[in-house]
Amino acid sequence: MAADQPQPELVTGRLAVYSADRTLAAYPDRTRGLAVIERLSDGQQWEIDSGEHPVYFSPDSRRILWEDYNEDAPRDTRLETLWLADVDGSNARQLFSGRRTGPVAWLPNDGLLMARGFAGTSDLELFRLSLVDGTQRRMLRLPRFRGVDLSPDRRQMVYYVYREADPTRNGVWLLNLESRIPKPQKLPFFGTYRWRDNERLVYVPFDPAATEHTFFEYNITTQQTRPLFPQGTGLTIANNDWQVSPDGSQIALVAAAGTKLDGIWILDLN
């Protein structure tokens, strides 16, 4: 729907994973154990023998990735194989095989960010996997992390750690993925976050007693923080359901049901 003419219009009744450019959709065919890639412009379809496992599009919408494993095997010991192919399923090849290891995010220059677990600990090791020749470059070992979000240029990663016995390991962290030996930088806030552009994060501080949610902006280059709106908006976000527009000029959010400002809101950013 258009923000200035909010009349809903059905786009599709199919639940699917869409490519970044919104030209392709991927969905399972559970009767045959396949994934189907559909080109939305003309309905052209390609069948991918993914064993019913979901497929993921590369940022340039030219390739797909999927994992293959025995779902009945214990998660800690099962062998997981990573496959890479063109979006039509051609040129499929095995990229990686191992245990307690999985993809985290696509990286620039034909790379894939991977995380490897270890027996007896919740720590994870990050490494870069080359999509060209399968070589690995170890990056660093981290406490189990959540909330991974990469900057639009996929060179910075923000994540959070909590419930660690050592409180110094908890918090929201920034990692420069371009560094040869990345060193996590602890950010001066804890809450939910989204990238506005390659240098700025928009975040909402975590405060269980808050009567409204307030947006702030943090610049990773200058390390400066500023409020984006004055207090007193009365907005309360439902279930962390908010997004920054691709051009960074607006925020869309779902306000909590039962509040005075219940509904979907668009906020302009300055």
Write the pLDDT tens digit of every residue in 236-258: 999 999 999 999 999 999 998 77
Q: What is the dihedral of CA 58, 64, 70, 76, to 10 degrees?
A: -20
Taking alpha carbons only, the member of 105, 132, 107 closest to residue 115 is: 105
Nearest to 123 by CA among 161, 85, 90, 71: 161
24-33's contacts with Cβ under 8 Å and 24+ in sequence apart are 24/57, 24/61, 24/87, 26/54, 26/55, 26/56, 26/57, 26/64, 28/52, 28/54
Across residues 119-144, what is the average pLDDT? 94
Tell me the CA distances in angstroms from 165 to 90, 158, 208, one per residue in order.
47, 21, 22
Question: Do residues 96 and 78 touch, judged by C-beta distance below 8 A?
Answer: no
Average pLDDT over residues 180-187: 94
* Least confident range of 34-48, 88-102, 192-206, 250-264: 250-264
| C-alpha of 119 from chain center | 26
Give dist(CA 81, CA 65) in Å, integer: 11
User: Residues with Cβ < 8 Å from 264, sequence gap 6 or more?
Assistant: 6, 252, 253, 254, 255
At 264 the three-state DSSP class reads: strand
pLDDT at 125 over 80: yes
Determine the average pLDDT of the residues in 133-140.
95
Query: Tell me, what's the pLDDT at 121?
Result: 87
**Pairing label, strands 24-29, 34-39:** antiparallel
> For position 214, what pLDDT does the model report?
94
pLDDT at 26: 97
Q: What is the pLDDT of residue 39?
A: 96
pLDDT band at 130, cuts 50/70/90?
Answer: very high
8-25: pLDDT as tens digits? 777 777 789 999 999 999
CA atoms within 13 A on the CB side of 38: 17
pLDDT of residue 74: 86
Instruction: Report d(CA 152, CA 19) in Å as an integer.
Output: 15
What pLDDT score does 1 carry?
58
pLDDT for res 247? 96
Whether 198 and 213 have beta carbons less than 8 Å apart is answered as no
Predicted local confidence at residue 261, as pLDDT = 81
